[in-house]
């Protein structure tokens, strides 16, 4: 699941192209304009490499951290069908992290370095995973709506310019379609089930709506910086466009189930655009910077997992092994 | 066909598979490295899927629905060996248990592929490939870690020592043993244990690990008749927490 | 101690301030390129990489990461460092001049001659 890297709005566009060879830059941009993909050993602007590493790495972190909120319910999923499916879904998130880290590695950052940046808090991941999954229904809402948001993001990014990232996303999107169906099936089952189940799913939806509205990030400031990233096909759609697409696809489906969304201003206007109460972006920033209900836990759990596995990894390391950047 | 004997066999197998699958699934998302996390999770899914297939056979023999059987019984109604209910501990123990259990499981299903109870023989033939992978996985890990360095060797040896008597408990004989053998439904626990020892001994030897001295062997039994460690009850409660939240519901 | 909604986390008894030594180089092992064959008769296709400490484990990992859904009959793995590649910079070596028609099927057009020959009969 879950792309949508957080791009620091303070990066200055003017700095981006400093020192780049104009002829190589022109060839690079022409290649992208022709719709060709960039491959790992191609010449690329430093800023392109930096932004892609940051974006793919954050996406990878979001997968491995994203395995935790749903993993909260892995030992408690009700019945064989749900138990097996949730195991397979959380497993897929781990698999996606593997694919994404591998893609980022082709740009020259090792997996060790990425994990180190994750567990020290230096590198971000999708903010939604800093919220807890209180009940089984929370895990179902995540599986449906967070994965739905992720698909919108990932389908857009799969048309980007960097070959290894696109290939990883193609594989990921195929698996996400299972997640989305699984999540929808779960939410429908709860919403059309017993009164206790309806109550569970409504409460979960109400809890998750603010983080879902945060999911695509604040409106982009259309700076030269974002323009260049869009020209390079690093950023494929604006945050607002993706949020509109999400609302358009899923709000009617939520309403179909007779569920209520906690935003009295949410409606589609005459021009076909969704209006909503502006999400609390201060809260978003506070959580991204470590102040959310689960930030500390998520990182502590990852550190614990890395530490418990260390002896296993160290034992099998052989003296003659040598790292080489993966090819593709 | 001796239905009671078949049911007893199915229950202990299914409960073993469900509980070890459940335990192994606890590693999903928390494994020692991403790639192994994925492999271990797949095997946990296989186990739970195999358990489900056996509960379906029980249902065909008049027992309740698989979900009801798996998610509403109390701990003392489970027939799994105590080995599978023990907490995961660290990866050494989880791997060693996986190794000891999966060798037994593979041989059990191999024998059952020729069972005169055709529905079970059919399931046994179907899961052959899954089990082959599980055993390949277990053998590779145990051999590599047994030989890698002093720390990993010691951990694996310690895990083997700790798991051993519990593993012998997998072969706890049942009252219906003779009937199952007479009707060629199953080869019986004694024969299975002999085959198991034959299979694991060379692998452990290759891994530089030592099977505890036979004079210390003391199978920890009771699981088959509902006697369990203190670890099973919380496991079962946790597993069925949501299911029991609204027992009238479809989840 | 973290008090979590996840019972697995509670069992692990994790301190919140559990800072750890950074992972060292090669902590995650080296990489193997994975080639996957869907059906007998198909080509093996490159599908990605796995990090693994040896070839057996690379196969074990590759099987699940790239073969757990859909069809599979075979997997190959090879250490990334054992693969030799051309450079994209040199991809112009694959550009061929049109005169190379002599080695293309389309370079041989006999119907004109046959038709002419038939007319002349």
Q: What is the per-residue pLDDT across B162-204, written as a single tens digit (0 to 9) for each?
A: 999 999 999 999 999 999 999 999 999 999 999 999 999 999 9
Alpha-carbon distance B11 to nearest alpha carbon in chain A (angstroms): 16
Task: Please tell me the distance from the alpha carbon of residue A191 to that of residue B160, in angstroms, as a whole number.
Answer: 48
Alpha-carbon distance A251 to nearest alpha carbon in chain B (angstroms): 23
Alpha-carbon distance B191 to nearest alpha carbon in chain A (angstroms): 32
Q: In this model, does residue B216 exceed pLDDT 90?
A: yes
Confidence of residue A237 (pLDDT cuts 50, 70, 90): very high
Q: In this model, does residue A211 exceed pLDDT 90?
A: yes
Residues of chain C whose C-beta is under 8 A from some C-beta in A?
Answer: 2, 4-9, 12, 14-20, 22-31, 33, 46, 48-51, 53-54, 57, 65, 69, 80-81, 83, 85, 87-89
Q: Which CATH class is domain A41-315?
A: mainly alpha
Using CB atoms, pick whichever of B30, B35, B133 lies closest to residue C52. B35
CB-based contact C82:C76 (threshold 8 Å) = no
pTM, whole model, 2 decimals? 0.95
Using CB atoms, pick whichever of A79, A98, A194 lies closest to residue B71. A79
Alpha-carbon distance B92 to nearest alpha carbon in chain C (angstroms): 15
Alpha-carbon distance C121 to nearest alpha carbon in chain A (angstroms): 53
> Which residue is associated with the tokens 């972190």?
A61
Q: In this model, does residue A248 exceed pLDDT 90?
A: yes
Q: Give the least confident one: A252-261, A316-325, B29-38, C17-26.
A: A316-325
Using CB atoms, pick whichever of C8, C53, C60 lies closest to residue B137. C60
pLDDT of residue A7: 56
Structure tokens at A162: 């960097």
> Hey, is the C-beta of B72 within 8 angstroms of any chain A C-beta?
no
Is the CB of B33 less than 8 angstroms away from the CB of C51?
Answer: yes
Kindly state the DSSP code that residue A249 receives in the 8-state scheme: H
Half-sphere exposure of C67 toward its Cβ, with a 13 Å CA cutoff?
A: 27
> Hey, is the C-beta of A88 within 8 angstroms of any chain B C-beta?
yes
Task: Please tell me the distance from the alpha carbon of residue C81 to that of residue A315, in angstroms, as a whole number.
Answer: 22
To the nearest whole percent, how much of chain B has pLDDT over 70?
100
Residues of chain B whose C-beta is under 8 A from some C-beta in C?
Answer: 26, 30, 33-36, 38-39, 42, 87, 133, 136-137, 140-141, 144, 238
The sign of the CA dihedral A169, A2, A154, A175 is positive
> Hey, is the C-beta of B33 within 8 angstroms of any chain A C-beta?
yes
Structure tokens at A71: 């993993």
Kindly state the DSSP code that residue A38 receives in the 8-state scheme: B
Q: Which helix H or strand E contains C79, and what residues bound it?
A: strand C74-79
Largest alpha-carbon pair distance within chain A? 67
Torsion angles phi and psi, residue C34, rounded to 5: -110, 130
Question: How does pLDDT run across B107-160, given as a tens digit for each residue?
Answer: 999 999 999 999 999 999 999 999 999 999 999 999 999 999 999 999 999 999
pLDDT of residue A12: 65
* Substitution target from C2, C4, C7, C8 for chain B, most B beta carbons within 10 A: C8
> Hey, is the C-beta of A83 within 8 angstroms of any chain B C-beta?
yes
Task: Give C 44-83 residues with CB within 8 A of chain B.
Answer: 50-54, 56-57, 60-61, 63-65, 68
Mean pLDDT of chain A: 94
Q: Domain extents for chain B?
A: 3-245
- Neighbouring CB atoms inside 10 A of A292's CB total 21
What average pLDDT does the segment C88-108 reach? 85
Torsion angles phi and psi, residue C70, rounded to 5: 75, -165
Q: Domain extents for chain C?
A: 27-86
- Inter-chain contacts counted by CB atoms under 8 A, chains B and C: 39
Task: Please tell me the distance from the alpha carbon of residue A195 to that of residue A79, in angstroms, as a whole number.
Answer: 19
Task: Please tell me the distance from the alpha carbon of residue B220 to that of residue B217, in angstroms, as a whole number.
Answer: 9
Is the CB of B39 less than 8 angstroms away from the CB of C56?
Answer: no
Is residue C5 classed exposed, middle or buried when 0-12, 13-18 and 19+ CB atoms within 10 A define those classes?
middle
Structure tokens at A197: 């189940």
CB-based contact A202:A260 (threshold 8 Å) = yes
Structure tokens at B43: 């095997």
CATH of B3-245, one of 2.70.180.20, 1.20.1260.10, 1.25.40.10, 2.40.50.140: 1.20.1260.10
Closest by CA to B197, choosing from B180, B173, B214, B181, is B214
Is residue B249 classed exposed, middle or buried when 0-12, 13-18 and 19+ CB atoms within 10 A define those classes?
middle
Closest by CA to B105, choosing from B239, B225, B220, B199, is B199
Q: Find the helix packing angle between B189-206 and B128-148, rounded to 10°.
A: 40
E strands present in chain A: 267-268, 274-275
Q: Which CATH class is domain C27-86?
A: alpha beta
Mean pLDDT of chain C: 94
What average pLDDT does the segment A37-45 reach? 96
> Which residue is associated with the tokens 């009252």?
B175
Using CB atoms, pick whichever of B34, B140, B238 lies closest to residue C57. B140
Is the CB of C56 less than 8 angstroms away from the CB of B140?
Answer: yes
Task: Please tell me the distance from the alpha carbon of residue A137 to that of residue A143, in angstroms, as a whole number.
Answer: 10
- Which residue in B has a C-alpha nearest to residue C8's C-alpha? B26
Q: Domain extents for chain A?
A: 41-315
Confidence of residue B248 (pLDDT cuts 50, 70, 90): confident
- Inter-chain contacts counted by CB atoms under 8 A, chains A and B: 130
- Neighbouring CB atoms inside 10 A of B231's CB total 15
CB-based contact A194:B248 (threshold 8 Å) = yes
To the nearest whole percent, how much of chain A has pLDDT over 70?
96
> Hey, is the C-beta of C92 within 8 angstroms of any chain B C-beta?
no
Closest by CA to A266, choosing from A286, A251, A250, A288, is A251
pLDDT of residue A8: 56
């Amino acid at each position: 699941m879950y792309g949508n890297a957080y791009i620091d709005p303070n990066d200055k566009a003017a700095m981006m192209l400093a020192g780049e060879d104009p002829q190589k830059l022109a060839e690079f941009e022409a290649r992208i304009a022709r719709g060709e993909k960039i491959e790992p050993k191609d010449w690329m602007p430093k800023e392109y490499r930096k932004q892609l590493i940051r974006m793919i790495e954050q996406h990878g972190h979001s997968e491995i951290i994203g395995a935790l909120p749903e993993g909260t319910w892995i030992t408690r999923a009700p019945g064989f069908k749900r138990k097996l499916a949730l195991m397979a879904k959380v497993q897929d998130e781990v698999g996606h992290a593997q694919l994404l880290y591998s893609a980022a590695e082709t740009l020259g950052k090792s997996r060790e370095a990425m994990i180190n940046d994750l567990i020290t808090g230096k590198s971000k991941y999708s903010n939604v995973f800093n919220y807890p999954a209180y009940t089984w229904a929370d895990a179902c809402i995540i599986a449906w709506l967070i994965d739905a948001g992720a698909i919108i993001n990932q389908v857009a990014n799969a048309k980007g310019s960097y070959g290894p990232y696109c290939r990883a996303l193609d594989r990921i999107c195929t698996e996400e379609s299972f997640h989305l169906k699984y999540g929808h099936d779960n939410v429908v089952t709860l919403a059309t089930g017993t009164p206790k189940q309806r109550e569970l799913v409504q409460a979960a939806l109400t809890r998750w709506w603010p983080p879902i509205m945060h999911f695509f990030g604040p409106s982009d400031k259309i700076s030269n910086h974002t323009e260049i990233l869009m020209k390079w096909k690093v950023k494929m759609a604006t945050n607002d466009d993706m949020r509109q697409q999400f609302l358009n696809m899923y709000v009617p489906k939520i309403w179909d189930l007779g569920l209520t969304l906690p935003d009295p201003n949410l409606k589609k206007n005459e021009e076909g655009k969704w209006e909503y109460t502006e999400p609390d972006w201060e809260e978003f920033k506070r959580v991204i910077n470590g102040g959310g209900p689960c930030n500390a836990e998520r990182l502590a759990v990852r550190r614990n997992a890395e530490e418990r596995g260390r002896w296993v990894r160290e034992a099998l390391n052989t003296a003659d092994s040598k790292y080489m950047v993966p090819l593709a | 066909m001796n239905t009671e004997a078949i049911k007893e066999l199915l229950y202990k197998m299914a409960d073993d598979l469900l509980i070890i699958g459940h335990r192994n699934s606890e590693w999903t998302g928390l494994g020692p490295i991403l790639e192994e996390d994925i492999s271990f999770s797949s095997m946990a899914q296989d186990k739970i899927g195999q358990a489900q297939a056996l509960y379906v056979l029980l249902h065909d023999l008049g027992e309740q629905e698989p979900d009801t059987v798996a998610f509403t019984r109390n701990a003392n109604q489970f027939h799994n060996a105590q080995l599978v209910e023990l907490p995961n501990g660290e990866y050494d123990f989880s791997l060693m248990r996986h190794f000891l259990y999966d060798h037994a499981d593979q041989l059990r299903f191999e024998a059952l592929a020729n069972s005169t109870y055709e529905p079970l023989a059919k399931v046994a033939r179907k899961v052959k490939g899954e089990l082959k992978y599980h055993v390949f996985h277990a053998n590779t890990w145990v051999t590599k870690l047994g030989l890698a360095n002093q720390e990993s060797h010691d951990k694996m040896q310690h895990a083997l020592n700790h798991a051993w008597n519990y593993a012998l408990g997998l072969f706890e004989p049942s009252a219906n043993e003779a009937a199952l053998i007479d009707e060629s439904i199953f080869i019986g626990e004694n024969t299975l244990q002999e085959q198991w020892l034959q299979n694991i001994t060379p692998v452990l030897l290759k891994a530089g690990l030592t099977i505890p001295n036979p004079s210390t062997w003391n199978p920890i039994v009771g699981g088959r008749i509902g006697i369990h460690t203190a670890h099973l009850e919380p496991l079962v409660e946790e597993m069925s927490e949501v299911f029991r939240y609204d027992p009238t519901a479809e989840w | 101690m973290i008090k979590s909604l996840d019972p697995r986390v509670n069992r692990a008894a994790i301190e919140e301030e559990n800072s750890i030594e950074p992972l060292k180089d090669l902590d995650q092992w080296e990489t193997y390129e994975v080639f996957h064959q869907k059906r007998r008769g198909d080509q093996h296709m490159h599908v990605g990489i796995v990090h693994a400490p040896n070839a057996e484990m690379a196969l074990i990992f590759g099987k699940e990461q790239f073969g757990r859904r859909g069809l599979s009959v075979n997997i190959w793995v090879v250490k990334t460092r054992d693969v030799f590649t051309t450079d994209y910079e040199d991809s112009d070596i694959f550009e061929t001049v049109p005169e190379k028609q002599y080695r293309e099927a389309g370079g041989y057009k006999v119907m004109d001659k046959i038709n002419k020959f038939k007319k002349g009969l």
